Structures are given as C-alpha cells and as structure tokens.
Structure 1
Amino acid sequence: MRKLLLLSWLLLCSLMVWAAQRSSEDALSIARSFFMQSNSIATRNAADVQLVAVSSDLLNSTSTRSATNGNAFYIYNNAHSAYVIVSGDDRMKPVLGYSDNGSFITENLPVNILSWLEYYNAVYENIKNGKKVFAEPKLLIRKSFPASISPLLGEINWNQDTPYNNACPMIQGQRSVTGCVATAMAMILKYYEYPAKGTGHYFYTSNGVQYSFDYGNTTFDWNNMLPRYSGTYTVEQADAVAQLMYACGVSVEMEYSPSSSGAYSFKVGQALIDYFGYDENLGYIYREYFTSEEWMNLIKKEISEGRPVLYNGASKDVGHEFVFDGYDTQDMVHVNWGWGGVNNGYFEVASLNPSSPGIGGGTDIGGGFIYQQGMITGFQPPVATSSYTSHFYLSKLEVSKNEVTKGENFDLTITEMYNMSTTFKNGQLGLIAEKDGKQSALWNISLGNVKPNFGTKGQTFSNITVPSTLTDGTYALYLATKDSRETAWSRVRGSYGSETQFILTISGNKCILASFGGDLNLKEDLDGSVESLHNLYSGRRGDFKMLLSNKSTTSDFYGLAGVLFITADEDAQLISLAGYTQLELRPGVENKEIKISGNLISNLTEASKGIPAGDYFICPGVQWGEYVYAIGDKLTPVTVNKASGTSTLIVENARLEAKQLQVGEKLKLLADLSLSGTGNVYDKTLMAAIFAVGQGSTSNLHYTNVFIEKGQTFNLEMEIDPQIEEGNYYINLYKPELLGGYGGDPLCRLYFSVGPATGIKDEITDKDEIIIYQQPVEDVLYIHTSNTAQMISIYNLSGQELIRQKESGDKKEYSIPVSGLSAGYYIVTLQSVNGNTYRSKFIKK
C-alpha cells in the first residue's frame, strides 16, 4: 500500500498548557512566538510586542465581564504593523485572531468586533464553569453483535511471490511481486468466488510501461484456485491465482517492483465496482474521523454479517493492506496479513504489529501498521437490500459571524473537503442543524458527481440564514452530504479536535454559533509524564518512555503523540516535537506506557537543524485539531549534548545463544559493540539476514536500533523468529545503507542448524479448536475453544511439561498465568471432556 499523507505539525503551539488559566507571561510568550513564526509579520525585538488590552478593559458590562476573576483574552500589538489576540485559558485555541495589517485600536470599537470578543468571553466563562451543553452527533449503527466470530477466510492464506505473481511484469529481469493491495483484494474475492467474469477493460501507464487487463473477456477459474499454495500444484492451479492477482493489480494502478509493489487504498472500492461487479453501495472510510467505539462497531458489523474487511495501515516504514476476518470476546480482530499465513492472529486495532513482517511489510522496528488506517465497508457481491452512505471529510469550517438574528445572512467557509469513499453521485451539500435526532437543512447546494479523493478547497458560501421556524434550544450545526441514493443527510466528518462543526444556541430571535472541537478536555482529561532512556545528543535519535492517562469516562483520544522540548529559560520557547506515534486512549485508561523514538531536530523553529546543545524541559505532547499541546503538569529536565566526530562500529564476541534449534524456536544473536574513531555517539539500525547454506539472496531480514556512546560497550541481543524449516543456515549482521537492502562484507557471519521439534506426543492440531489471543503472550495466556476443557498443559519444545492446570465447569474461555516462563516458543495442550486432546503453539514475550 502506498502512504498517501505526510505527517506534519503546525508551528503554532500552546507553550504552557499545564496551567488552565493562562498568565500574562504565558500569553506574551505565545504572542512573541506567533509573530516570529508568521512569514508576513516582522518582529525586530521583544520590545516590539506590547500588551494593549485584556478582556476586562474592553467588556465593561456586568453580563460580559468575567465572573471568574480571570482574563478571557489578551491583545498584543507588534509595533504598529500587526496584532494578535491570545486566549486566557489553555483549553481554548492559543490564538483567537490576528491581523498583519495595522495595530489594534481600543477606542470606538465597531459593534461587530465587540460582538466577536463577547462571544469569546462567553466561551471562556463556559469553560471556566465546567459547563457542557452539547452532545456530538454519533454514527447510528447497531451495537449488538455476536460475542465472537471465527475467521471467515478459513484456510485461504495467499502471499505475493510464486505462484501468485506468475502473471506480474518482469522488471529488469526480475518478476514483480503482486503487491499487498492485490493479494488482500484477491483473498476476499476468492472467499466470495465472485464474479464469474469481469466487466470492461482498463489500462494505465506506470514508469513508462503500459499495463492492461481485459476484464470483460476474462472468466475467473475459481475451482482451480487453492486456499494455500505449498508443496505441489498444477500449472492450471498456478495460472488461476496468478491471473486473479494481476487483474486486481491493474484495477488499482499497481506500481510494480520485484521487492515491493504498491497502490493507493482509496482506489480499491471503485475498482471493485467498475471491474469486478461488486455492490455499488460499498464504501471506504478513514479511522481518524470516527470514535473508537464507532470504529469497532463498524468492524464488528461487517464481520458479523459475513463480510471480511479489507483494511489498510502504515508503519513508519511502509504501508500495508490486509484482511480482518474475525474477532473475539476481547474486541481483538483476527488479521490475515497476506503473507501465506505467517503472523496471522488476533490483534488490537490500535496496535497492529506483526513480529516478522513479510513481503512489502517493512521492518519489525516500524512500530506497527497504526498510522493512516482505513477500511472498505460493504465489500460483497450485489445485494438488493444494501444501502449507501456518503463519507466526506473536512479540515476546518468557519462562519463570518458568531452571533446573528433569525433571517440575518452570514457566510460559511470550507477550508478543505474531500470525498473519502467511492464515487458520490448527483448529490447535495447542506448545512444541517440537528436536535434530538431531527435534521433541519439551513442551506444546500448541488454537488453533482464527486470522484474518490476529490473535493473542494478554500470555498466560501454566502447568504446563509437561520430560519424563523427553528425553535429555542441547542443544536449541532454541521456540514452534511446526501447522495441521490440516500434519504438522510450524512455528516461531513472532521478529525479529533478539529473545528468542523458548531454549537447553535437559539433563544428567541438571537442565535449564537460557537465552534466545537469535541467533548474531550485536554487539560482535565489527559495526564502524562515522560523520561529519556539514555543521554541525548543534538540531531541524533532520542528514545523515551511516556505514561499517559485519559480520565474522561466518555471521550477517547485518537491522534499523534510525541515528546515536546522546551527551553529552560524565562522565555520557555517550544523547540521541537521529537518522535511521534499514533495513540489511542480509551476512556478510563491509566498509565498506558508508550515508547517514543525520534531524531532531536528543531522541527518547530528551524527545520532540519539539530536541537542546539543545552538544557531543556520535556513533557508529553499531542496533536489536537490544528495545534500541538503539552500534556500533564510535570516538566522533566534534560541536557542535550553536542554530537561530534566520526565513529566506526566495532563488533566483538559475536555468537549465537544456541547453534542447534528446533523448528519453531527463536534464534538469539549476541555481540559486544563499541566505537573507535573521533565520534562520541553512534545511533544506527543494524540488519540481520538469514540465508540457507548455498542461498544467494534472502528476504528473511530483521532489524534493531542501537545507541552507543564512546567509551561504552553495548550488549547487542537480537531475538529473532526465523520462521524456517529444517536445514543448515547462517546469519549475517549488516549496517544497511537502506532498510531492506544488504551488500558488502557483513559485520559477522554465524552458522546454525534447525532440526525437527521433538518430545511432544501426537495430539490433534486444530487451530479452530484453540484460538490464542494476541501474540506474543505477556503475563497471561488467554485462549478460546469450542470444547470444554478438563486439563490444560504447557510444554516447551523439548516436550517437558512446565504448567498443568485443571479446569471444571462448562466454559469456553480460559486464562493460564505464564509470567514465570522465559521468552520463547511453547505448546499449549487442551484435554477436552469428550476425550480429545488439542494443541497449539504460542510465543511468550
């Protein structure tokens, strides 16, 4: 899968989010930072920025003065050329407004400016008083599902290499792999064994080469497609699956390569409709525009109704397409990764991190496919009773007036709005006021047909009014779309914290429009701390551990999190957000441990320059809407050192913990690493490549990050799941120039052999009878079985029984404490009350 979006951070940040009431010193720091970061506003020195007014200076009436003895906002002039309005509470946007053409004049303020300032004062008062008068509209779908669903794809386990890629193009003498998008699509097509024939013809050009497929004249040979291609198979069986794979690839404009073929996920839905005749009401949606509860319910709805979910995500290395085809009682989804069955198992949606990624899956240090997630809904052959839902997303929505009377015109500005799903047909865009589940359209226009990933940018609509027919009360005010196939309006969605809807409050003839970014209160609901795991060096990788909590009982957080660096001087300038990870914090989560890694770059001031050596404070930071915020009230002092010189890596005492393994056992590579030369630090990635003796190339690659300081010895320990059969092998350790590549002389070469697993008696091996929750297992092994157990035992691979647990009662879920076991492979056996014994393998972390 191609990674479509770049991760970015806005420079305008709140510097002191840990204090709810913003002090004048904090506000001044924000104002100075704003002027410094604005391309159109020049700041000669700190003295240019002067406070000219606070809310209490301008709002004199009893009804509008702050009742909480604080300032709702601060106004600063930059000499006589510009001004900025800074909020008085860190739960509001840091910058409420600004002008780059003239200073703020406090005398004889126009009525519209006063009304605008009074609105912000009212927002401030509501926040200070803890008022919550609005509930965000939720997606209406059923919430009652079967407790668990076994994997729908069953034995279908396909991959990207031979024979699946036999029809894929040759590139510089090498056969291209199918691409993960094509493999994931093809597995679900095989599940349905539909269509008999395709529809139409398609061609495209990629890197100067034209690819085409005649769908209308192709009959897919479903009967000759095997669920798994291992061992022997006929030419007809190989041709059948290869033809399907190439058909899928062409339909999404696959960019072919021998190592990793890629395509955009948003193209899949329309391709299924146009060339394979699938239900025209299927859709494509992005994770970031739905709450955690909504998203999980959508997944369970699809699977419980017999539809495998085509899902995509990205790691820090690469994107990947795969299939969700089951779920368990713990809300873990069963993932078929499209790597021939390797790593298939149950995973949390928020942490899709296979231990040994296959073809095109990047590295095992990429952090999991947790970024840019999306999925196809309604993936099925045509069904007469299916229904269509339009899905658009929006970056920001603005109105020209925050207070109007009924019938008074105001303008609506859309920053960016795009169709995230399949082609939108002959539909409308409307501004909807919703109260008690009833939708009222204030305004609408025709949108016509909108292709996937198309939309509008920077468009303003005028002459919008609140009609006299709307009664008093509080409404959700949002943009919505309605395709010609829909009977109700579908809300245009914004990401977490974005300002894409309003609270409309009507009292008589008076209408107040207040921007709404969600129910989560960052100051009150989120808490956290961070610590560095080693000494820090300018421009080099920093590794951190964060603990984060969400004290809200109703609202979740979903966004990017990193480590904020703040100067340890009186100006407290925000210098950098180091590292990032996609973070999901469900309501009530406490002290969730997050590992963060990233280069120490001044990415919030001078891009691509290392953080200057010196003393700083660090704290957790999150992206919420347009801004980056500090989380928690604890600042941790750190020192950033200067990185200097050039280092040479020295590898000594390289060894394997065991040179003779059994099938299924892990391999542990050990070595002592140190530095020579003038450099004082080394922070690189090392790669271990496993070859069969006599083999010239391999895709069995494993990575680890190292951080070594001059004068120290780093004890390298790489625990590798080789996933190889019996035979003789060697492992090379490299300093790869690029991830996924190896060449030149290895740092070391070590030989080992793999023999058959021994000592375990012949029980029935049936993966459907013992389902193990997410692997690797940590402290407790959780299993599900369709058979009632009377005894559960755990063995090592030598056949030694380590744990025996008697069971009683009629139940299907069991838990076995395994915290005392060392990391490695084990076998769990279940003796059922009907006399059968079942076994399955698991990994202990």
Structure 2
Amino acid sequence: MMKKMTLLLLLCTVVLSVWAGPVSRQQAQQIATRYLQQTCRARGGGIRPHLTLAYEARPKAARNLGIASPLFYVFNQGKSEGIVIVAGDDRMKSVIGYADNGHFDRQVLPEGLNWWILAMEETMTRLVKSSEQRLLSVYAASDSLQPSVAPLVKVNWGQGAPYNESCPVDKAHNNTPSLTGCTAVAMAQVLSKWKYPAHGSGQVNYNTLTHKFRQSALLDTIPFQWNAMLASYKGSKVTAEQRKAVAELMHVCGMAVKMDYCAIASGAKLTAEHLDKYLGIDPGCNIVERVYYNRAEWDAMIRKELSAGRPVIYSGYSMSGGHAFVCDGYNAEGLFHINWGWDGSLNGYFALAELNSAVEHAGEPTDAEGSFNLDQDIVLGIQPKVGEGNVPEMQLFYNSLELNGIPSRTQLKASIHMVRADGNGYKGEMVLGLFDADNQYVGRIGYANSIDLPAQYYYREYPVSGAFPAEVADGNYVLRPAIKNKDGKFVPMRGRKGSPYVEGLFVSVKGNTIAVTQPEKVEAELEVRGIKSLSDKVYAGAKNAFEITLHNAGALYNGPITLTRHDGDREVQIFDNNYIVESGEDLVLRVKLQSPEGLDRDTLSIWYASNDGDIWHTNGYEAALAGQVSYQMTVPTAGAPVLTLSDVKIENKLTYLGEPLRVSMTLKNAGGFYGKDIYCFVFPKNGGQSISSVRQQVYIDKDEAQKLHFTIPVNNLVADDYFFMVYYVSANGAYTSISTTYHAFTVQDEGIISVPNVVGLGVHCVQHAFIVPEGLACGVVTAADGEKLTVDYRYAAGAVVPAGTPLVIKAERRKSYVYQVVLSSEEQPEDNLLRATVDEDGYTYAGEGDYAYYRFGADHANTDYGFYRVDEAGSAFRLGRNKSYLALPASWGHPVGYGLSTANDVTGIETLGQSPIVPVIYTLSGVRVKASLSTFPSGLYIVNGKKVYIRQR
C-alpha cells in the first residue's frame, strides 16, 4: 500500500546548521539526515535515515562562471522511501524539497518534477552569480489562514494504463493508446476531491492537431462513476469497471481542453472557461500568471486558496511545452505539497515561490531548445458550482506604460503595451488613472475606454490620451492603467514585473504646470560574436550543428531570436525561438541548421526584437540585426550512398538489466554522401515489431570509413534473447537495413557471484545494480593506514548495491551465489578506495597521478587473503572482468599488503577458545587438519565452515 504523506510541523523544532557560502556534499547529507530524523520523530518513528546521493545539479556554464559547487543535492532515502533536496547555497532555505515515497532517477522523472528541477537550477544559478541575500519567501502567519494544510487530493493517478484506455489509439506508434496528457490528469485529480461533477456538460467536436483524431462527444451522456474509482491503480487488483471509470473521466477532461492526443506525449492549454463550460466548475475560477506577481504575492495567493480547501492546478512552461500538476497543501516551513500526476511517485513538498519568473531573474540558455522560460500560471477557485455560482472577477494585465510626446495640463498621450485579459476574459472600462501616495484613485486622463477581450486575447498596443482632471490638487502622483473592481472602484491594473517593463509614470503637479517622469527604458543590444561548427566538416545540403555566440550590451532581453538566409530578394527564416539574455551576458545558441546545396559558403543573419517589451505573446515585432555570420562548406559527392558494415562487435553479448549493450562497428560508404542518422533497432528473438532503438548522426562521404559506437539501453526489456539490426534513412525517408545480419544478445535478470576460496572472501564489480543474496555481505574499503584496512560491509543480504560499485565479498562458505538484478539510480559510494577501472589494454588505472595498486588474493605464504602489491613498487596489473582492486596514492607510503583474514581484521572475526567437540578444521590454505585443537598454535582457522581465531591458554 502506498505510504501517505503527513505534515511536517517543524518550523520551531528543527534546528539545521548553516554554513557560509556553498554547501558541500557532506554538509548537505548532514542537513538531509537531521531533517529526516526530525520528521521521523514528528511522525512517531525512530528509523535512522539511510541516504544515498541521487543527483547533483550543476550550473550549465560552470567552467565559464567559475562555479564549482553544486546548485542543490537530491538524496534518496532507502530503496524507495522518498527523497530530500538540499540547496547548495546557504542563502536559500536548506531543504527545498521533500517526499516520503518514491525513488529519484534523473533520467526517469514525472514531467512536472523534471520542469521543477530545471526551473530550480535556473533560480539557483542566478542566486550563485548574484550578491542577493536569502531568497526564500518569509511566511508570515495569518489569523485567517491555517498554519499548514494536509494534502487535499487523495488519489495518485497517471497518464498511462488504465487511465488512457478511452483515449484515441495512435496508429503511428504501434496502435498504442494515446497518453492522457498531464493537464487531464491534474484536472481529474482535483475533481476527485469532491467526486464532482456527476457528468460532463456540453458538446465537444474537434480534430487533434498532430494526428487529426476526430473527437466528438455529448459530455452530458457520459456519467462519472466516482465510487468505482480507486485511489491508486498501482499494484492493485483492478476490475474492468474500475478501469473504465477512471479512463472515461480522463478522456472527458482531455476533450474538454481539446487535448492533442499522441502515444508519445499529449498536450493542451487549460483555461478557466474549460472548467466552467464543460465540467460545471464554479464560474468564479480563474487563471493568473506568475509574471504579474512578486514572490510574496504569489506565495500568499496560493496559501489563501489552499487554506480555503481548494486544490490549485499549477502549470510551468519551458521551450519543450507546458507541464501541469496539482498543488494541494503546504507545511509550516514554506514548502508546498505537489502531486505530480505520476501514480503517486515522488509526491512531496517543494519550493514554488522561489522559482523566479522569466523577467525577475532570467535563466541561462539550454543546449538546444532555447532558454528555460520560467513562466508559470495557476488555476484558482476550482470548486463545485452551487446555484448560479460566484461572479467571476475579471482582470486586465499589461506589460508596460510609455509616455508619448511632451505632456501638458490639457493633453497627455501614452501607450499601454500588451493589454491582456485573464482566464475569464474582460468586459468593462479601462482608464489611465492618477493615484496618490496612498494608492488611492483621484481621477483619470481623458475618457474611460470600453474594453471587451476574451480570455487569452490581447491588444499589442493601446493608445490613451486626454486632459488632466481639473480638480487634481498640487502634489506628486503615479499614473498607471486602472480598471473597476467588483465594488465599482477604479484600482491599478497589474503590470509585468521587472526591467525593462514600466508599470507607472511619476507625475508632479504644481498649478498649471505638470512634470511627467518616465523611468529610462534601456533597450537590449545584441551583437554577434562568432560561429563555430560542432563537427570536423560542414557539408552543403546537410543538417549541421553550430554554436553561435551573441553578447547583450544593453538591458535584459526577453524575446525571439531569428536566423534567416538571403534567397534572391528576400530573407528566408530558418530558425526562431525565444531566449532570455541578461545585460552584459553572452548567449550561446546551439542549433542544427539545414545548409544550402551546391555552395561552398553560407551566410546567416541573426535578428532580435528591438522593442522587446512589446513582443510578448505575439510574433509581430520590429526586428533589429544583431549581425551576420558566415561559414565554409564542403560540397559532398552526389548520388545515393552505398553503405556497408564490418567489424560489428558486441562487448557484452550477455548483458543485464541496467547494463546497456555496448556495440561498435565500422561503416563504409562506396557511393554518394550520407548525412543522416544511423539506427540500431532491437527486435524480439522471433522478430516482429522493433521494441527499442538508438540513433547516431553520421556524415560520411564517398570512400570514407567511420568507427561507430552505440550504447543500447535494455532497461525496458525483460530477461530473454534479442537481436538488433542496423538501418539508414533512404532518400524517400524509409528505414533501410544496411545488412541482413541479426546481431544476437541476451538480457538476464539474475547473476552469479562465485566465492572460490575457503575463507569466504573475494572481490566483485558489475555494471548493474543487484540485491545482495542470503549468505553474502558486500563491503567497501573506506580507510587504509600503515597496518590495516577499514572494510565497511554496508550492503547486507537484501540491500541494493549500486551499479559499478567495486566490492569486497564476505561469504558464509565457498560456493556460487545467485543474485537478482534490479534497476536503481543510486550512485556508487564516494568513500570507497576500491576501484574497477582499467585502461584500453586492461591494466588497472585509478586516474592521473601516482598510485600503488593492490590485487586481491593470498599472500606469498598462502595463509592470509587480502590485497597485495604484485611487485615492490605497486605497479599496475591486468585485471579480469567483474573484479575490483585497491588503489592508494603512492605518496601515502603504505605497506606491500593488507591481510583481511587475520586476528586484527575489522570484519567481525570470531574469537574461539578450545572446544570439547571434535570439529572439522582447515588451514587458510585449504588443507584439512586431523588433530586436536589443543595441539594447534594460536591463529586463524576454518572450523566447521566458519572463520575463527583459536587462542591457546
């Protein structure tokens, strides 16, 4: 059964140490350990935390910035008992995320949590580079709000089966049902709080964007079987009725937002109208955007909603799309409870207000998809409609206010940029209002303007003009756009936060003279610094990868960057994306561009918006030229390629779950140029549909040969036999096999550890995680001095050993032990002095520097097993597969060997006196001894299969 999250009321009880500046890994683990110890006590538990580092977030441009310390750390607790996320800078609150279930694997995360990780990396990067003080919002207690709210949503649902079983089947992906989409999951989970509505409302008719699936339904005719739905479908015995109930709910939610269905990813944009019109939610619900609120306002708004018992649908946006999840609680420490919509995995408490908006603190660019845009929005007021419901509060927002011309008492002209309606649209009056020092409305400029804007619509620029009101007394005022609230009073509209946006103009009135001051608006000034190819050659007519560097010599830039190529009498757009570039910083665009055919040189023009405050949510803008770049191209051989393979080698034909298949091959081309991907498709042993694939971009001209290396993941495969084939993409776009050879391999989920000696000691290392079998203990060497090693047997039977961990094995007796292979993201322990790496020739290699190398085995007298140098210098030696060795810096001056099977061993050797029972005795070299114990000298022996130390009196 899934563990339930309980609230952590630790504001006054947890005392966490604070270090100045960066937080080291060891300090972070101490913080996480103490945090878990306190939470366990708060919940009545007393288990000692067992933490392993799962992820260190590093700055994208760490080398250029001179930043070496991680931005934050993610620790896994136990096998699948939750995570703790600790900030890498003590200006943030120490613990910024916590979940009491699930396991963190950076490669396999809920898409909402993946968004949060990327967004927090942006926030922490900005903090590390700045001189700002602690960023975490100070939560001021309010008599009207609860000090904490336990998770309001009690279900843990996801996007796959059975939730997607009513979604359209995607024929382009093996007739697989489309995913529900994260928006539909978030909607369904919030609706489950009230088990409302009884059914949908209205008619839906649309074709999906990607695959043109026809979606048509009268939603009133689809009842929701709330009592048949389970809180979790994970690991449960589920009936057909229970599956159908949740699947129909998910499909209705998806149709309500006009979901673009696909088996790979389904997407949609949620508006308040969708909830009201199709699902009977109170019409007072609304969508508001993060860019119009500061941290404290955003934090307070969400807390107020949750304190009223209403879960919030939270959406974050990146260049790869939107990510929706549910925020349904908060604790007393300033963290919000998040249900990621991934079958309950990694639900927990996370910082939200600390994720800066795109304008407050712009982020660094990603490698390929543009800058990470931290725009966020929330849906408020989601509750069942009672009667006619609440009257929706309609709002207008704007980006910036700009003065036009010289103002006078009788005439003032201004422009309001990007006037936008909220999630309910807006119908009413808008004025350019004059507000006093207490933010009270005192009059307007000219006439009131009648506005009628549907949800998500905007005016790119709204001009206003008129005379100052005659009754305005001398004094200082602020001029800003205003609308009427529910009480019929004019209140300031919300403007976009951050430079270069201007929310208001300062006005000084003295008699017939007025002075209007507008904060100076400094434009961004982008200039091109250069272009660099990411491959040895740039081929005409092929898609090539480049790095283009731009520098911003002006104000913060937040807008599109467009690449064009001159074609005759026009500029042809070949690339366009949104980016954020701070003042004084560089932006490196990493892009793949299709180069023109038949030329040996190409020239690109790079454009940006010259009035960047006006281009948000629109493609119309005045373009400024940042510069041009040119690059040389090689004209390739014409004609169809003739590709052949040779020297196909599988390094590990017998592989294991979690241990990818490593393949190398030589590709030759006897025909025309080939500049596309080469694919390895994996098939079941009896053929049929491919079940996995990897690809690699290749540029190969006539009479050339290239060595290719593929790493084929097998985590999605069950233990069985398989084969792969190699394909290229022909001129008509079809996958064509390069050869008909089946390259066979086997995936196993069990392995064997053999302990060959009578003392029960050995070494082992495999590149997959496994569960320690009964009868074994697995240890790591954590310290070495002039006399002995410290061996920590931290992996007892039943524990999971991280992939690639070099080990000392301690067994009950000489035999072969079968273990279970598992998938795990736990990393190797860093305090381990054992190594398993070898160089290309198979010699031990611990890294740069001088090391003394120790091989595991018996000493020269064949009486004591341990680690010994192969020669006096501790030279490197060849090492077989799956073996580990000891590597110590030569400067440490250690002895020639360390015995583990001695009385001074720290591995828990028993001390045994004389026994009246006639035992079965062996020496350490395996020789059977037929004599009385009383005649033996003191020492170590194997007695009845156990290693004991016999002490004579």
Query: TM-score, normalization: structure 1?
Result: 0.54
- TM-superposed CA distance for 1:794, in Å, is 9.7
Q: Secondary structure at the match of 2:189?
A: helix
C-alpha distance after superposition, 1:39-88 (max 9, x if no partner):
xxxxxxxxxxxxxxxxxxxxxxxxxxxxxxxxxxxxxxxxxxxxxxxxxx
Q: Following the alignment from structure 1 to structure 2, what is the Cα–Cα distance between the partners of residues 438 and 163?
A: 54
Letter paired with 1:755: Q
SS of structure 2 residue aligned to 1:597: strand
Distance in structure 1 (CA, Å) of the matches to 2:164 and 2:731: 25
**Aligned residue in 2 for 1:168:** 167
- Contact in 1 for aligned 2:477/2:507 (Cα 8 Å): yes
Q: Does 1:451 align with 2:450?
A: no
Contact 1:676 1:710 (C-alpha < 8 Å) held by counterparts: yes
Write the distance in 1 (CA, Å) between the matches of 2:828 and 2:473. Answer: 56
Kept in 2: contact 1:204–1:210 (CA 8 A): yes
Please give the alpha-carbon distance, in whole angstroms, between the structure 1 residues aligned to 2:831 and 2:606: 35
Q: CA deviation at 1:180?
A: 1.1
Alignment of 1:402-417 (within 5 A): 402-408=405-411, 410=413, 417=419
Deviation at 1:442, TM superposition (A): 2.5
Q: 1:714 to 1:693 in 2, by over 3 A?
A: same
659-668 vs 332-341, which moves further: 332-341
Q: Secondary structure at the match of 2:255?
A: helix
Kindly indicate whether residue 671 of structure 2 is the aligned counterpart of residue 677 of structure 1.
yes
Q: 2:719 aligns with which of 727, 751, 769?
A: 727
Determine the C-alpha separation between the residues in 1 that align with 2:636 and 2:334: 46
Q: 1:583 to 1:369 in 2, by over 3 A?
A: closer
**Aligned residue-pair number:** 602
Change (3 A) 1:343 1:668: farther
Query: What are the superposed Cα offsets for residues 524-567 of structure 1, whole Å, 9 maximum, x if unpaired?
Result: 9x998764323445564443446789999xx965444578999x
Note the C-alpha offset of 1:463: 3.5
Structure-1 separation of matches of 2:294 and 2:640: 46
How many Å apart are 1:294 and its aligned residue? 8.2
Counterparts in 2 of 1:611 and 1:501: CA distance versus 1, 3 Å:
farther
- The residue number in structure 2 matching 1:645 is 638
Matches within 5 A, 1:430-579: 430-433=431-434, 438=439, 440=441, 442-443=444-445, 445=448, 447=450, 450-456=453-459, 460-463=463-466, 465=468, 469=472, 473=476, 475=478, 477-482=479-484, 484=486, 489=491, 491=493, 493=495, 503-506=505-508, 508=510, 509-511=512-514, 522=524, 531-534=532-535, 535-537=537-539, 540-545=542-547, 558-560=558-560, 579=575
The residue that corresponds to 1:754 in the other structure is 747
Q: 1:312 to 1:743 in 2, by over 3 A?
A: farther
Note the 1:150-169 alignment, pairs <5 A. 156-160=156-160, 162-169=161-168
- 1:351-366 matches, cutoff 5 A: none
Given the alignment of the two structures, is residue 144 of structure 1 paired with residue 136 of structure 2, yes or no?
A: no
Contact 1:280 1:382 in 2 (8 A): no
- Would the alpha carbon gap of residues 702 and 171 (structure 1) be closer, same or farther in structure 2, given more than 3 Å must change? closer
Match of 1:270 in 2: 273
- CA change 1:197–1:445 in 2 (3 A) is farther
Quote the residue 2:315 is aligned against: 311
Which residue does 1:184 correspond to in 2?
A: 185
Q: Structure 1 residue aligned with 2:257, among 252, 261, 271? A: 252
Determine which of 374, 377, 384 is the counterpart of 1:375.
Answer: 377
Tell me by how many angstroms 1:373 deviates.
5.3
Shift of residue 574 of structure 1? 13
- Contact preservation (8 Å) 2:204, 2:215: yes
* Residue number in structure 2 paired with 1:323: 325
Pick aligned residue for 2:802 from 782, 796, 807: 796
Residues 327-356 of structure 1: CA distance to partner in whole angstroms, max 9, x if unpaired? 99999999877566899999999999xxxx
Does structure 1 retain, via aligned residues, the 8 Å contact 2:425–2:456? no
Aligned to 2:112: none
Aligned to 1:105: none
Give me the whole-angstrom Cα distance separating, in 2, the residues matched to 1:248 and 1:479: 37
Letter in 2 for 1:168: C
Q: Which moved more, 1:791-800 or 1:214-223?
A: 791-800
Q: Is the 8 A contact 1:575 1:611 kept in 2?
A: no
For 1:145 and 1:687, how far apart are their aligned partners in 2? 57
| Letter of the 2:156 counterpart | I
Return the structure number with greater relative CO, CA threshold 8 A, min gap 6: 1
Deviation at 1:254, TM superposition (A): 3.4
Corresponding residue to 2:591 among 578, 594, 597: 597
SS of residue matched to 1:677 = coil
User: Does the CA contact (< 8 Å) of 1:531 and 1:545 recur in 2?
Assistant: yes
For 1:198 and 1:548, how far apart are their aligned partners in 2? 54
1:120-159 deviation line (CA, Å, top 9, x unaligned): xxxxxxxxxxxxxxxxxxxxx9753999999987882412
Q: Distance between the aligned counterparts of 1:675 and 1:257, measured in 2?
A: 37
Find the residue that maps to 1:381 and give its secondary structure. coil
Retained in 2: the 8 A contact 1:213–1:250?
A: no
Report if aligned partners of 1:292, 1:556 keep a CA contact under 8 Å in 2: no
Tell me how far 1:436 sits from its aligned partner: 5.5
Structure 2 distance, partners of 1:447, 1:699, is: 59
Q: Is the 8 A contact 2:805 2:828 kept in 1?
A: no
Distance in 2, matches of 1:642 and 1:330, equals 62
Q: Deviations over 1:204-241 (max 9, x none)?
A: 24369562243487244255234244575211220111
Counterpart-to-counterpart distance in 1, 2:598 and 2:302: 45
SS in 2 for 1:164: coil
Task: Give the Cα–Cα distance (whole angstroms) in 1 for the partners of residues 456 and 284 of structure 2.
Answer: 17
Superposed displacement of residue 818, structure 1: 9.9
Q: Secondary structure at the match of 1:247?
A: helix
Say whether the 8 Å CA contact 1:158–1:187 is kept in structure 2.
no
* 1:703 CA displacement: 5.3
Query: Matched residues, percent identical?
Result: 15
Q: Is contact 1:442–1:465 with CA below 8 Å preserved after alignment? A: yes
In the alignment, the residues of structure 1 paired with residue 326 and residue 730 of structure 2 have an alpha-carbon distance, to the nearest angstrom, of 34
Corresponding residue for residue 242 of structure 2: 237
8 Å Cα contact 1:442-1:467 kept in structure 2: no
Residues 368-388 of structure 1 show CA distances to partners (whole Å, capped at 9, x for unaligned) of: 995695533326436999997
C-alpha separation in 1, matches of 2:832 and 2:547: 22
Q: CA deviation at 1:185?
A: 2.9
Distance 1:174 1:794, change over 3 A: closer
**Take 1:498 and 1:610, find their aligned partners in 2: how far apart are those partners?**
42
User: TM-score, normalised to structure 2's length?
Assistant: 0.49
In structure 2, the CA distance between the partners of 1:661 and 1:580, relative to structure 1 (3 Å rule), is: farther
Per-residue CA distance 1:735-782 (angstroms, 9 max, x = gap) = 56899x97554778644433336643489xxxxxxxxxxxxxxxxxxx
What's the C-alpha RMSD, in Å, of the aligned pairs? 6.3
Counterparts in 2 of 1:174 and 1:540: CA distance versus 1, 3 Å: closer
Contact 1:543 1:597 in 2 (8 A): yes
1:658 matched to 2:627? no
In structure 2, the residue corresponding to 1:645 is in which secondary structure?
Answer: coil
Unpaired runs of 5+ residues, structure 1, are 1-140, 353-363, 567-572, 602-608, 764-789, 803-813, 824-845
Q: Aligned residue for 1:838?
A: none
Sort the Cα spacing of 1:583 and 1:182 in 2 relative to 1 into closer, same or farther, 3 A: closer
Cα separation, 2, equivalents of 1:749 and 1:237: 43
CA drift of 1:489 comes to 3.6
C-alpha change, 1:250 and 1:565, in structure 2 (3 Å) is closer
Q: Structure 2: how far apart are the matches of 1:818 and 1:150?
A: 39
Partners in 1 of 2:675 and 2:508 — Cα distance? 59
**How far off its partner does 1:195 sit?**
1.6
Q: Which residue of 1 aligns with 2:618?
A: none
State whether structure 2 residue 218 is matched by structure 1 residue 218.
no
The answer (yes or no) to whether the contact 1:530–1:619 under 8 Å persists in 2 is no
Preserved CA contact (<8 Å) 1:165 1:242: yes
Distance 1:654 1:721, change over 3 A: same
Larger radius of gyration: 2
| Native 8 Å contact 1:388 1:485 kept in 2 | no
Q: Per-residue deviation at 1:643?
A: 6.4
Instruction: Quote how far apart the aligned CAs of 1:367 are.
Output: 4.0
